[in-house]
Amino acid sequence: MEKQLYGTVLLKADKILSYLAGCQEPQALYTIAKETELTNSTALKILETLNYIGYVYKDTESKKFSLGPTIIKYANKAIEHLDIKSIAQPHLEALQKDTTETVHLGIQDKANIVYIAKIESKNPICLYSKVGKSIPMYCSAMGKAVLADKADEEVEIYLQNNELVKMTEKTITTKEAFREEITNIRSIGFAFDNCEHEEEVFCVGASISIEGKNYGAVSVSTPKYRVTEQFEQQVIKAVQKCQANILKDIKASL
């Protein structure tokens, strides 16, 4: 039996957006209604709602409609994220093979890092991370690496707008200490999460940025008890290799 869908108005809105996406020029109401097999009244109500939330744009003089800035922003964001995931995937697999630990790919979402890819360790451990979940930037290796790539002014704005909440005994909770952490990350080129978000979980992360544009970050997570000085250096080297290979492929695709 075919599943009954909820909200037929959404399906009608989708027809309108799909039609406008295929048009080179703004379209009049009657044309949109005709091409989507809707009445003028129904099409207008949907278009006015879409205009209100920015999914379509209505020219005040011609009264014609085109795709709006909000939906274009979302579309560009989705494409960008799909691209980075596709580009990064083989290098994430190589990183997991090199370290045998849990590997992540994340992107910034406002004040957080959102996991968009994860490859589990061959030595299973219980981690908070899950694709789609987010973590505050200030207490994650990926988040700190991304922040370190930003200008001082942006870091200060982040600190002004976000409280450094104590997640564990090792969480950095003062602005001065966090500024020092950012300075250190800039000097060494990668970041640590030394049990700052989860007890006994150690992470190494590196940002993926080109000419001021950030595409995300990669990290390796491992239980603290497995970390030796030799293994830490091995993970750092593997993360930097992964970072370099992803950056190389991004540049080749630009």
Predicted confidence at residue 83, as pLDDT, reads 83
Query: Is 192 inside a domain boundary?
Result: yes
Task: Mention every residue, 6+ apart, whose C-beta is less than 8 A from residue 217.
Answer: 105, 106, 107, 113, 141, 142, 143, 145, 146, 205, 206, 207, 208
Predicted confidence at residue 110, as pLDDT, reads 87
Q: Is 135 helix (H, G, I), strand (E, B) or coil?
A: strand
- Do 108 and 38 fall within a single domain? no
Give the number of residues written for the chain: 254
- Do 167 and 217 fall within a single domain? yes
**Domain stop point among 67, 88, 112:** 67
- Do 96 and 145 fall within a single domain? yes
pLDDT band of 4, cuts 50, 70, 90: low
Q: Convert the pLDDT of each residue in 58-104 to its tens digit.
A: 998 999 999 988 887 777 666 566 589 999 999 999 999 999 999 99
Mean pLDDT of 92-118: 94
Least trusted range by pLDDT, from 20-24, 99-103, 106-110, 155-159: 20-24
CB 141 within 8 A of CB 216: no
> Residue 118: in which H helix or E strand, if any?
strand 112-119
Look up the CATH number of the domain holding residue 111: 3.30.450.40
Query: Is 93 inside a domain boundary?
Result: yes
Query: Is 103 inside a domain boundary?
Result: yes
User: For the chain, what percent of residues have pLDDT higher than 70?
Assistant: 92
- Do 113 and 169 fall within a single domain? yes
Q: Convert the pLDDT of each residue in 135-163 to its tens digit.
A: 999 999 999 999 999 999 999 999 999 99
- Do 58 and 158 fall within a single domain? no
Predicted confidence at residue 1, as pLDDT, reads 44
The amino acid occupying position 21 is: A
Indicate whether 212 pLDDT > 60.
yes
Task: Mention every residue, 6+ apart, whose C-beta is less than 8 A from residue 63.
Answer: 28, 29
Cα–Cα distance for residue pair 171/193, rounded to 1 Å: 9
Look up the CATH number of the domain holding residue 21: 1.10.10.10
Predicted confidence at residue 126, as pLDDT, reads 61
Query: Is 2 inside a domain boundary?
Result: no
- Do 54 and 153 fall within a single domain? no
What's the domain range around 238? 76-253
Cβ neighbour number for residue 114 with a 10 Å cutoff: 18
What is the rounded average pLDDT for all residues in the chain? 91
Predicted confidence at residue 2, as pLDDT, reads 47
Predicted confidence at residue 125, as pLDDT, reads 63
- Do 124 and 51 fall within a single domain? no
How many domains does the structure of the chain reveal?
2
Cα–Cα distance for residue pair 207/10, rounded to 1 Å: 38
